[in-house]
């Protein structure tokens, strides 16, 4: 067989009113259409799932016209904003709810990990729950017995195996739940954001095990908001946007597209005409300040991307001895870095009247976080011409362009990251 | 290639057919059934002092109450049988049916958590209820047999009848009816929650429409057929006839009972399979 999963024309419509189609008359109408062999009249209406708009219709397409194929042994990442339809897609694939339209063909057993520890009963012991959980996930008693030692080993709760699970800490529960699911041997494994729970050690174990499983030829569908995990595990990914399939391709492309989609609310960087700046002389004014990537302005940078700024300055009259300075601010207003144009970078002596544009690259690596760029222009004797304090906001994400350079930790340790050379003596 | 499993193809589509029961899947999950039964039983009596003894105390206390109120005060006939045997037989049988019915009727609503996270054939849950109730039923039946021997040794005239061989059939009918009606109610309750309240007092009232507290023989002939519409009537009477020697044994009604079970089961399965596909969207 060439495909493990084939999804064709998948659609899922939800009715926002609680009961039936909302009223008995609607239900009857729908039944009347069905008897006559006609299409359900309420499937025609229905809006896309835009989170922000309040629509007129009571029907929403959580998923619409989804088509894709997964080959056996592939690890497919599924990314998208909240509300894009990821969980709905998984629910349909795991048969928790049925599709409204379309067809899915699956070759092989599917096990879905939508939440760790499903079916754990607090009164039963760890050992009993392993059997119960395994059986719920589709294993037979024999299979579970064979893998019991491995499961206990992986979960690290062997000491507490015969204690009722209601005494376990949340970390133990999560480890136990994942341990059982990880030792299933389905042909296809679906994992939904399981990494969001659990400490670093657990997350690394999870990722390691999933990598292991994929190397044994199993197909994995991995839903996550953790872009570095997706990049590590998945060779191919798909992006869901508002219920439709936005794009599918190599993970690198998809991840950057996802990040771009989210930063489409970029600022223009243009300084309005009537903007009253600082206490400068006003002989010249900044007209535009932007952070750029290549030639476009962006609001979001990958970790360790170089910090490049483009700005446009208008000299209202000929100016002598101008120095430009860039200020990097943290979100809480602390000035983190300063760079200026004098002494050989851009030897600016005189600026004729008119507009002048520049690009400057700053040799600073901001940590993941939110920042702002300010600019000032002044004469070499210190008199300020114009200052813009918060000209442009941008943020840095923890994912980097290359896989081994992500920022791994949950909190940023400070504002600035430094390159360093380490020598063991 | 797949490890140890045969070529397994699954097609997921919007469901068009009337009943979509996957018997193969039910069989595959049989271990889960036994684990659910075990779980239900263990969790009920863990951390209790009297533990499983409650299984016996319930019918004993109810019987005692009935004897005092119905036999002594109200002077309702027990067809000449010792009060204990008369009432307890009815109670034990009725408890099995009503437990099956009331617990299965909550299948969807009380399991929405687990149903929302993982797939397994939903029918396993009500089936596990019917089976785990059998365990309690068995224990209570044992008690009944002991009491029978006690009275027999005392010389009270009690005979078996060959109708007693129908006992397994009776159990099947009871469990079947409880299950079938239960899954109907469960399916309907996902949309219309009021039914839940109806079930609770409905079952209580239904007990009085069954020959638990009084024998069928004390009902005037022209109204007997109404009582016999209740599936439990014929079951209880047949049991008492076979086990104790006195009761109204009506094979024709047992047949009607069986046919009605088939009808109700069919309706139940249709509703259940329609509901299980999409109830997570509306429950």
Residue where a domain stops, chosen among A196, A226, A261: A261
Among A96, A164, A187, the residue with its CB nearest the CB of B119 is A96
| The predicted structure's pLDDT at residue B61 | 92
Provide the shortest C-alpha distance from residue A48 to chain B (in Å). Answer: 17
Residue B282's closest chain A neighbor by CA?
A18
Q: What is the ipTM of this complex?
A: 0.74
| The predicted structure's pLDDT at residue A38 | 67
Residue where a domain stops, chosen among A228, A261, A294: A261
Residues A72 and A144 in one domain: yes
A164 vs B contacts (CB less than 8 Å): 46
| The predicted structure's pLDDT at residue B2 | 34
- In DSSP terms, which residues pair with A220 in a beta bridge? A75, A189
**A74 found inside a domain:** yes
Residues A85 and A150 in one domain: yes
Instruction: Check whether A19 has a pLDDT greater than 50.
Output: no
* Chain B contact for A158 (CB, 8 A cutoff): no
Segment 103-122 of chain A within 8 Å of chain B by CB? 103-110, 112, 114-115, 118-119, 121
| The predicted structure's pLDDT at residue A22 | 43
**A43 found inside a domain:** yes
**A423 found inside a domain:** no
Segment 78-107 of chain A within 8 Å of chain B by CB? 91-107
Angle at A70 between CA A175 and CA A72, to 5 degrees: 75
| The predicted structure's pLDDT at residue A48 | 56
**A273 found inside a domain:** no
Q: Are A343 and A325 in contact (CB under 8 A)?
A: no
Residues A244 and A140 in one domain: yes
**A425 found inside a domain:** no
Segment 160-199 of chain B within 8 Å of chain A by CB? 191-192
The domain that holds A355 is classified in CATH as 2.70.50.60
Please indicate whether, in this complex, the C-beta atoms of A136 and B42 are within 8 angstroms of each other: no
Q: What is the crossing angle of helices B167-189 and B195-208, to 10°?
A: 150
Residues A208 and A240 in one domain: yes
Residues A228 and A297 in one domain: no
Span A233-238, average pLDDT: 90
Among A103, A123, A187, the residue with its CB nearest the CB of B43 is A123
Instruction: Phi first, then psi: give them for residue B21, nearest 5 degrees.
Output: -100, 120
Q: Is A369 left (phi over 0), alpha (psi -120 to 50) or beta?
A: left
Range from A10-14, A295-299, A384-388, A405-409 carrying the lowest mean pLDDT: A405-409
Alpha carbon distance A88, A242 (integer Å): 12
Q: What is the CA radius of gyration of chain A?
A: 28
Instruction: Check whether A78 has a pLDDT greater than 90.
Output: yes
A131 vs B contacts (CB less than 8 Å): 35
Range from A108-117, A255-264, A341-350, B272-281 carrying the lowest mean pLDDT: A341-350
Please indicate whether, in this complex, the C-beta atoms of A97 and B35 are within 8 angstroms of each other: no
**B214 CB contacts (<8 Å, ≥6 apart)?**
B70, B76, B77
Among B8, B39, B117, the residue with its CB nearest the CB of A115 is B117
Residue A93's closest chain B neighbor by CA?
B12
Please indicate whether, in this complex, the C-beta atoms of B32 and A124 are within 8 angstroms of each other: no
Residue B276's closest chain A neighbor by CA?
A97
| The predicted structure's pLDDT at residue B176 | 92
Provide the shortest C-alpha distance from residue A358 to chain B (in Å). Answer: 56
Residues A240 and A294 in one domain: no
Among A94, A185, A187, the residue with its CB nearest the CB of B119 is A94
Among B8, B118, B278, the residue with its CB nearest the CB of A109 is B8
Residue where a domain stops, chosen among A246, A261, A276: A261
Cβ contacts of A402-409, under 8 Å, gap ≥ 24: A403/A228, A403/A231, A403/A232, A405/A303, A405/A304, A406/A228, A406/A231, A406/A303, A407/A303, A407/A367, A407/A368, A408/A228
Instruction: Check whether A47 has a pLDDT greater than 70.
Output: no
Instruction: Check whether A221 has a pLDDT greater than 90.
Output: yes
Span A364-373, average pLDDT: 91
**B225 CB contacts (<8 Å, ≥6 apart)?**
none
CA dihedral over A147, A149, A153, A155, signed as positive or negative:
positive
| The predicted structure's pLDDT at residue B6 | 47
Please indicate whether, in this complex, the C-beta atoms of A187 and B8 are within 8 angstroms of each other: yes
| The predicted structure's pLDDT at residue A105 | 92
Instruction: Check whether B266 has a pLDDT greater than 60.
Output: yes
Span A13-28, average pLDDT: 61
**A266 found inside a domain:** no
Residues A247 and A310 in one domain: no
Please indicate whether, in this complex, the C-beta atoms of B32 and A136 are within 8 angstroms of each other: yes
| The predicted structure's pLDDT at residue B200 | 85
B39 vs A contacts (CB less than 8 Å): 121, 124, 128, 132
Residues A142 and A181 in one domain: yes
| The predicted structure's pLDDT at residue A417 | 92
Please indicate whether, in this complex, the C-beta atoms of A97 and B39 are within 8 angstroms of each other: no
Alpha carbon distance B176, B162 (integer Å): 23
| The predicted structure's pLDDT at residue A413 | 87
The DSSP secondary structure of chain B, one letter per residue, reads --SS----EEEE----SS----HHHHHHTHHHHHHHHHHHHHHHHTT-SSTTHHHHHHHHHHHHHHIIIIIIIS----TTS-HHHHHHHHHHHHHHHHHHHHHHTTHHHHTHHHHTT----TTHHHHHHHHHHHHHHHHHHHHHHHHHHHHHHTT------GGGGGHHHHHHHHHHHHHHHHHHHHHHHTT-TTHHHHHHHHHHHHHHTTTTSS-GGGS-HHHHHHHHHSHHHHHHHHHHHHHHS-S---HHHHHHHHHHHHHHHHHHHHHHHHHHHHHHHH-
Residues A11 and A138 in one domain: yes
Please indicate whether, in this complex, the C-beta atoms of B43 and A131 are within 8 angstroms of each other: no
Q: Are B109 and B231 in contact (CB under 8 A)?
A: no
pLDDT digits (tens, 9 = 90+) for B12-63: 877 766 666 677 778 888 888 888 888 887 777 776 777 778 888 889 999 9
**A40 found inside a domain:** yes
Provide the shortest C-alpha distance from residue B142 to chain A (in Å). Answer: 28
Query: Measuring CA to CA, which residue among B85, B26, B79, B80 is closest to residue B59?
Result: B85
Provide the shortest C-alpha distance from residue B247 to chain A (in Å). Answer: 44
* pLDDT band at residue B177 under the 50/70/90 scheme: very high
| The predicted structure's pLDDT at residue A89 | 93
Instruction: Check whether A6 has a pLDDT greater than 70.
Output: yes
| The predicted structure's pLDDT at residue A45 | 53
| The predicted structure's pLDDT at residue A25 | 58
Alpha carbon distance A252, A403 (integer Å): 10
**A249 found inside a domain:** yes
- In DSSP terms, which residues pair with A11 in a beta bridge? A101
pLDDT digits (tens, 9 = 90+) for B238-247: 888 888 887 7
Span B56-78, average pLDDT: 88
Provide the shortest C-alpha distance from residue A92 to chain B (in Å). Answer: 8
**Which range marks the domain in which residue A367 is found?**
284-417
Kindly list the distances between the CA atom of residue A126 and the CA atoms of A158, A179, B62, B214, in Å, as whole numbers in the listed order. 9, 12, 38, 49
Per the structure, the count of domains in chain A is 2
E-assigned strand segments in A156-198: 188-192
Residues A233 and A355 in one domain: no
pLDDT digits (tens, 9 = 90+) for A140-152: 888 889 999 999 9
Provide the shortest C-alpha distance from residue A15 to chain B (in Å). Answer: 8
Tokens found for residue B87: 């009432």
Q: What is the crossing angle of helices B231-244 and B167-189, to 10°?
A: 160
| The predicted structure's pLDDT at residue A52 | 46
* Percent of chain A clearing pLDDT 90 (strictly above): 23
Tokens found for residue A208: 């390691």
Residues A196 and A70 in one domain: yes
Residues A290 and A234 in one domain: no
Segment 217-246 of chain A within 8 Å of chain B by CB? 217
Please indicate whether, in this complex, the C-beta atoms of B8 and A94 are within 8 angstroms of each other: no
Span A140-167, average pLDDT: 89
Matching residue, tokens 């507290």: B213
| The predicted structure's pLDDT at residue A361 | 93
Please indicate whether, in this complex, the C-beta atoms of B32 and A97 are within 8 angstroms of each other: no
Quote the mean pLDDT of chain A.
82
Among B11, B13, B118, the residue with its CB nearest the CB of A137 is B118
Instruction: Check whether A51 has a pLDDT greater than 80.
Output: no
């Amino acid at each position: 067989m060439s495909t493990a999963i084939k999804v064709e024309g998948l659609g899922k419509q939800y009715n926002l009113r609680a009961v039936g189609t909302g009223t008995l008359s609607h239900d009857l109408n729908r039944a009347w259409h069905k008897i006559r062999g006609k299409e359900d009249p309420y499937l025609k209406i229905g809006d896309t799932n835009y989170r922000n708009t309040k629509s007129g219709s009571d029907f929403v397409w959580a998923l619409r016209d989804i088509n894709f194929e997964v080959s056996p042994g592939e690890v497919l990442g599924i990314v998208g904003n909240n509300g894009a339809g990821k969980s709905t897609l998984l629910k349909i694939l795991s048969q928790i709810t049925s599709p409204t339209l379309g067809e899915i063909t699956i070759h092989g057993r599917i096990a879905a990990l939508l939440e760790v520890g499903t079916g754990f009963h607090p009164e039963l012991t760890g050992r009993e729950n392993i059997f119960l959980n395994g059986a719920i996930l589709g294993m037979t008693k024999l299979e579970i017995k064979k893998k019991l030692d491995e499961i206990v080993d992986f979960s690290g709760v062997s000491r507490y195996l015969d204690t009722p699970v209601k005494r376990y800490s949340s970390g133990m529960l999560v480890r136990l739940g994942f341990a059982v699911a990880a030792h299933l041997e389905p042909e296809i494994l679906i994992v939904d954001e399981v990494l969001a729970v659990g400490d670093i050690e657990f997350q690394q174990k999870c990722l390691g095990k999933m990598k292991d499983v994929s190397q044994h030829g199993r197909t994995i569908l991995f839903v996550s908001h953790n872009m570095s995990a997706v990049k590590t595990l998945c060779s191919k990914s798909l992006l869901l946007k508002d219920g439709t399939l936005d794009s599918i391709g190599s993970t690198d492309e998809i991840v950057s597209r996802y990040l771009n989609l989210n930063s489409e609310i970029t600022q223009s960087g243009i300084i309005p005409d009537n903007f009253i700046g600082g206490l400068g002389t006003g002989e010249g004014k900044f007209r535009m300040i932007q952070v750029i990537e290549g030639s476009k302005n962006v609001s979001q940078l990958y970790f360790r991307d170089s910090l490049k700024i483009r700005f446009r300055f208008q000299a209202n009259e000929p100016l002598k001895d101008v120095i430009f300075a860039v200020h990097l601010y943290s979100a809480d207003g602390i000035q983190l870095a300063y760079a200026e144009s004098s002494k050989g970078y851009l030897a600016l002596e005189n600026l004729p009247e008119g507009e002048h544009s520049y690009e400057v690259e700053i040799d600073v690596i901001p940590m993941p976080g939110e920042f702002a760029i300010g600019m000032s222009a002044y004469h070499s004797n210190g008199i300020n011409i114009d200052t813009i304090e918060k000209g442009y906001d941008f943020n840095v994400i923890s994912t980097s362009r290359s896989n081994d350079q992500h920022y791994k930790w949950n909190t940023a340790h400070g504002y600035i990251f430094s390159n360093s050379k380490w020598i063991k003596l | 290639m797949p490890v140890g499993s045969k070529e397994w193809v699954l097609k997921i589509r919007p469901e068009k057919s009337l009943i979509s029961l996957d018997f193969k899947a039910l069989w595959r999950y049989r271990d889960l059934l036994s684990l659910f039964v075990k779980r239900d039983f263990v969790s009920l009596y863990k951390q209790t002092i009297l533990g499983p003894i409650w299984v016996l105390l319930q019918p004993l206390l109810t019987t005692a109450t009935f004897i005092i109120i119905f036999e002594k005060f109200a002077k309702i006939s027990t067809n000449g049988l010792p009060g204990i045997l008369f009432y307890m037989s009815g109670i034990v049988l009725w408890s099995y049916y009503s437990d099956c019915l009331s617990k299965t009727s909550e299948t969807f609503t009380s399991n929405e958590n687990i149903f929302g996270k993982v797939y397994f054939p939903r029918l396993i849950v009500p089936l596990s209820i019917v089976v785990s109730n059998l365990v309690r039923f068995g224990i209570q039946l044992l008690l009944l047999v002991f009491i029978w021997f006690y009275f027999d040794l005392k010389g009270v005239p009690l005979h078996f009848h060959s109708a007693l061989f129908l006992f397994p059939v009776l159990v099947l009918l009871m469990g079947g009816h409880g299950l079938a009606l239960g899954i109907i109610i469960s399916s309907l309750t996902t949309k219309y929650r009021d039914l839940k309240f109806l079930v609770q007092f409905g079952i209580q009232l239904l007990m009085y429409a069954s020959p638990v507290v009084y024998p069928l023989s004390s009902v005037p002939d022209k109204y007997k057929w109404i009582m016999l519409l209740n599936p439990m009537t014929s079951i209880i009477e047949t049991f008492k006839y076979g086990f104790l020697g006195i009761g109204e044994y009506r094979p024709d009604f047992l047949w009607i009972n069986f046919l009605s079970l088939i009808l109700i089961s069919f309706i139940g399965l249709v509703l259940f399979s329609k509901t299980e596909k999409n109830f997570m969207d509306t429950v």
